[in-house]
């Protein structure tokens, strides 16, 4: 089987992290976001993954070469010269996706974190005999999204309602699809939306089905949702393989610590924290609801909550970092500095406090 991952553009919503790496290579729970998806695809027998991308394919491919060998899976890029929306890239990658076997192929949005129940999706897709299956997830506030209206019994999709004013349902497109090759005959090589143009046509022909996604779902393409996604992911890890989580007197709730990270005495870490490879957390540090990426040093008695600390940054002694502060790569916070929602671009030194949310160039 094959899969196409829609990587797309510049990841502007996750700046300043995406100023250093393309968004799919930004770490989430101690590994690049896209690797969560590629590993799950490999588990259900996908042998080739195509990345639909419109900038920096060299960086992506160089990086993923290591994983090709480790996972035994082929990873190629299909590069757009102009943005083609969410359907155009399928037309562009047509020759890579169709091999004459008639097997369906996966399409994924690269920002989606979930439990990826791909084997159930394959079973459901083959059982209904339609042309395409989309996964849907239940949300509390459907008015913010495009809602999928479906027959509960069969899963057949009746229609889509964009940002409904009155309640029509609470299931939204989860950005995970399984499509027959025939779907490609419906897509032209031009900027096209799969959600707004292609799927409604397949639904009109009564050939589109939806499967409700079990477990958690999050689009982690922006900082607040990234932090929420980490909480959901670690919660799911607790149920599935709790042995991967940290334990001990200094740990509260779900915490993921890379084996090469060093943690000092008298720290309190958690809930919902990921500490990456090569990090040093000195004595008396307090961390909660945050991600600390590769090579970061956090000095004594610093306190970090609801924030993302980018690669190779340092946080000074007694510093306090909170309220969606995001430090880009190689940012250095001096001792006793406070940052309240500061978004700091890479390679900066912060010597004075940031008292209200602002971008520091």
pLDDT for position 284: 96
Which residue in this structure is represented by tokens 């009155």? 166
pLDDT for position 262: 96
Shared domain check, 273 and 138:
no
pLDDT for position 9: 67
Task: Count the domains in the chain.
Answer: 2
Shared domain check, 79 and 143:
yes
Are residues 333 and 313 in contact, defined by beta-carbon separation less than 8 angstroms? yes
Are residues 237 and 215 in contact, defined by beta-carbon separation less than 8 angstroms? no
Q: Are strands 105-109 and 171-179 parallel, antiparallel or unpaired?
A: antiparallel
Are residues 128 and 122 in contact, defined by beta-carbon separation less than 8 angstroms? no
* CATH number for the domain harbouring residue 70: 3.90.550.10
CA–CA distance, 349 with 358 (Å, rounded to integer):
15
Shared domain check, 179 and 73:
yes
Structure tokens at 20: 């250093």
pLDDT for position 325: 95
Shared domain check, 215 and 98:
yes
Shared domain check, 177 and 66:
yes
Residue 182 CB: number of other CB atoms within 10 A? 14
Tell me the pLDDT of the chain (361 aa) as tens digits.
999 998 876 677 788 988 888 888 899 999 988 899 999 999 999 989 998 887 767 777 788 788 888 888 888 888 888 888 888 888 888 888 888 788 899 999 888 999 899 999 999 999 998 899 999 998 888 777 778 898 888 989 988 888 878 888 889 888 899 999 988 888 888 888 888 889 988 989 989 999 999 889 988 888 888 999 999 999 999 998 888 999 998 999 999 999 999 999 999 998 999 999 999 999 999 999 999 999 999 999 999 999 999 999 999 999 999 999 999 999 999 999 999 999 999 999 999 999 998 988 8
Shared domain check, 203 and 72:
yes
CA–CA distance, 306 with 341 (Å, rounded to integer):
9
CA–CA distance, 46 with 3 (Å, rounded to integer):
7
CA–CA distance, 28 with 308 (Å, rounded to integer):
10
The closest of 175, 18, 172, 206 to 86, measured between CA atoms, is 175
Domain holding 287, by residue range, is 247-360
Structure tokens at 263: 């943690």
Structure tokens at 98: 């169709």
For residue 331, tell me if it sits in a domain: yes
Sheet holding 332-333, edge to edge: 262-263, 280-281, 297-298, 314-315, 332-333, 349-350
* CATH number for the domain harbouring residue 313: 2.160.10.10
């Amino acid at each position: 089987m094959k899969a196409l991952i829609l990587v797309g553009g510049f990841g502007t919503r996750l700046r300043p992290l995406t100023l250093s790496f393309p968004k799919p290579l930004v770490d989430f729970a101690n590994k690049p976001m896209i690797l969560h998806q590629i590993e799950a695809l490999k588990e259900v027998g996908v042998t080739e993954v195509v990345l639909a991308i419109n900038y920096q394919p060299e960086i992506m491919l160089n990086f993923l070469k290591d994983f090709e060998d480790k996972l035994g899976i082929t990873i190629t890029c299909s590069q757009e010269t102009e943005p083609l929306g969410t359907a155009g890239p399928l037309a562009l990658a047509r020759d890579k996706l169709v091999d004459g076997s008639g097997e369906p192929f996966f399409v994924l949005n690269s920002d989606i974190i979930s439990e990826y129940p791909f084997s159930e999706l394959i079973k459901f897709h083959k059982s209904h005999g339609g042309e395409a299956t989309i996964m849907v997830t239940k949300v509390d506030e459907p008015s913010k999204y495009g809602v999928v209206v479906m027959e509960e019994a069969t899963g057949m999709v009746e229609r889509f309602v964009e940002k409904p004013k009155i309640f029509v349902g609470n299931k939204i497109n989860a950005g995970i699809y399984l499509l027959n090759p025939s779907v490609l005959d419906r897509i032209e090589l031009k900027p096209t939306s799969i959600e707004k143009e292609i799927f409604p046509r397949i639904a009109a022909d009564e050939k589109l089905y939806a499967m409700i996604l079990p477990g958690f779902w999050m689009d982690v393409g922006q900082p607040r949702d990234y932090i929420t996604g980490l909480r959901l992911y670690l919660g799911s890890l607790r149920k599935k393989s709790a042995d991967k989580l940290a334990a001990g007197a200094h740990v509260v709730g779900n915490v993921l610590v890379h084996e090469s990270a060093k943690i000092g005495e008298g720290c309190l870490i958690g809930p919902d924290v990921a500490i990456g490879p090569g990090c040093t957390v000195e004595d008396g540090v307090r961390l909660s609801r945050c991600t600390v990426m590769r090579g970061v040093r956090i000095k004594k008695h610093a306190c970090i909550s609801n924030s993302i600390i980018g690669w190779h940054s340092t946080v000074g002694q007694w510093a306090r970092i909170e309220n969606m502060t995001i430090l880009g790569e190689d940012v250095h916070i001096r001792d006793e500095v406070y940052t309240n929602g500061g978004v700091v671009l890479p390679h900066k030194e912060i010597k004075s406090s940031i008292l209200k949310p602002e971008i520091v160039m």
